[in-house]
Structure 1
């Protein structure tokens, strides 16, 4: 059970989110304003938050900055009708960990929260495993069904990022920023080349590739 704060000023949306998360066994508190959210965050240690961008008393990005400044490190799922690329980037750069566009299915929100909770748990571990693929972060070793796989530095970094976000579609822009630390597309098919090499090294007989291309969106790492 995780302690989750839902920051949402629309009563119907807040109730739908809270109901779905409680159905998954989580302890949920709802805050309808930024100030109420700040107060709730100080009363208990949170495991995750969902945060609406448009609140009656402050912008969600301003609230997120204040939460981080007060020491709240729990993962944050931004929830907003502001869905263009620039708005999503702004939310992630402000400290959000994921971004979900309204309208959405409550079940998808619950899955995204579970992914964020798993990622938080994995961040303190030295061994990542998704399906038959394993990464030893201390030894910098990769294994597929127990067989060692030699990876170059950037291939290892790319695989680690994809595994930490398993099941989530990651855009090319996010990969450039988080893996290569580029805030622009350098061209030359940089990502395509690295993904193709990584796929070949992770290939398993008669098993689909662990790295799926999501047309027009990016890449997703799946357990195989």
Structure 2
């Protein structure tokens, strides 16, 4: 799952990013509304959740939320604010936010809200992905080929999950970098190639077909 945090308090934003990455999420971070708008418009369907502070420089959170919903941005939006008046909460929800969390908040509550939003029907995804005899459990972070467990690194797991969620689709190296390493990552394409090579070694058996196909000049694909 990929999350965008939009928070002008750099210390808080950076702490949330690090914490959520430890939980297994891929996280991008923007410090003002204008930067966030640019990131989303260039990766419109790339986020599963947005955490949005209301009090932002350049474009405030309410205006940004309204603009995104007007453009049919579908990902759930969790608003953060220091304002706890009922009218402020109503304003946030009526602008298109799915939930509202007042600062200061506990990190455990934030995690609970995130999980609840990602479980909502319009965002519901299977927790166990299966392609051929490969199964990937997104909760336990375990991968099996048949009855044999395959031990993967965090990045290998994230790449495999991304490919399996997009079965039969060609995914470019750039898309993998953005989704697995983050929007502003300076990761090179040869790093992706190295991870794909390692994935193949771990997943494939002797005289086996390529589980992960290379589509020359385009990217990679897992077929059913």
Give the TM-score, by structure 2 length.
Answer: 0.52
- Whether the 8 Å contact between 1:75 and 1:120 is mirrored in structure 2 is no
* 1:83 match: secondary structure: coil
Deviations 1:83-106 (A, max 9, x none): 111100110111100000001122
Aligned to 1:103: 104
Residues 120/38 of structure 1: CA separation in 2 closer, same or farther (3 Å cut): farther
Structure 1 residue 42: deviation in Å?
2.1
Aligned to 1:93: 94
Deviations 1:153-209 (A, max 9, x none): xxxxxxxxxxxxxxxxxxxxxxxxxxxxxxxxxxxxxxxxxxxxxxxxxxxxxxxxx
Aligned to 2:48: 47
Whether 1:119 and 2:120 are equivalent positions in the alignment is yes
Structure 1 residue 68: deviation in Å?
1.5
Q: 1:93 & 1:107 partners in 2: Cα distance?
A: 26
- Whether the 8 Å contact between 1:20 and 1:107 is mirrored in structure 2 is no
Structure 1 residue 124: deviation in Å?
8.8
Structure 1 residue 123: deviation in Å?
6.3
Structure 2: unaligned runs, 5 residues or longer: 127-224
Aligned to 1:5: 4
Structure 1 residue 107: deviation in Å?
2.4
Structure 1 segments of 4 or more deviating over 3 A?
120-125
Structure 1 residue 111: deviation in Å?
1.6
Structure 1 segment 14-93 matched on structure 2, within 5 A: 14-44=13-43, 45-93=46-94
**Aligned pairs, number:** 124
- Whether the 8 Å contact between 1:7 and 1:37 is mirrored in structure 2 is yes
- Whether the 8 Å contact between 2:49 and 2:75 is mirrored in structure 1 is yes
Give the TM-score, by structure 1 length.
Answer: 0.52
* 1:30 match: secondary structure: strand
Give the CA RMSD over aligned residues. Answer: 1.8
Structure 1 residue 76: deviation in Å?
0.4
- Whether the 8 Å contact between 1:20 and 1:110 is mirrored in structure 2 is no
Structure 1 residue 120: deviation in Å?
4.2
Structure 1 residue 64: deviation in Å?
0.4
Q: 2:68 & 2:24 partners in 1: Cα distance?
A: 25
